[in-house]
């Protein structure tokens, strides 16, 4: 996936603020340049991992999203990242 474009001096902090408003998202690890979050599905309680990495001087955040179980998530992870992209790039 293409990196997320984030305006401002602290892109990981901005990602964290967006994640705080998303139901069933939990920040697991947070540092100045890295954030690991878990998303739990509503119906079956499947957990997906999403990782963000961004430098303080850069306005882009690399993102990786993956399901813990199975071969296909039916596009859920991509849709989640695109929703985050839309919220961050407003």
Distance CA(81)–CA(88), nearest Å, equals 10
pLDDT of 56 reads 64
**pLDDT tens-digit series, residues 32-86:** 999 999 999 888 888 999 999 997 667 889 999 999 887 778 888 999 999 999 9
DSSP assignment of 19-58:
HHTSTTEEEEEE-SSEEEEEEE-TTT--EEEEEEE--SS-
43, 85 Cβ separation under 8 angstroms? no
pLDDT of 71 reads 75
User: What fold is seen in the domain 4-88?
Assistant: TATA-Binding Protein (3.30.310)
pLDDT of 3 reads 92
Distance CA(49)–CA(66), nearest Å, equals 5
pTM for the full model? 0.88
Structural domain boundaries of the chain?
A: 4-88
> Does position 31 have pLDDT exceeding 80, yes or no?
yes
Helices and strands, number each (H, E), in the chain: 2, 5
Residue 1: pLDDT band with limits 50, 70, 90: confident
Question: Tokens 């100045």 map to which residue?
Answer: 32
């Amino acid at each position: 996936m293409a990196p997320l474009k984030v305006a401002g001096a602290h892109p990981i902090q901005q990602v964290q603020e967006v994640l705080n408003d998303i139901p069933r998202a939990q920040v697991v690890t947070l540092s100045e340049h890295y954030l690991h979050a878990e998303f739990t599905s509503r119906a079956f309680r499947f957990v997906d991992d999403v990782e963000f990495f961004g430098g303080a001087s850069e306005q882009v955040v690399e993102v990786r999203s993956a399901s813990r179980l199975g071969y296909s998530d039916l596009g859920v992870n991509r849709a989640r990242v695109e929703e985050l992209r839309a919220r961050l790039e407003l």
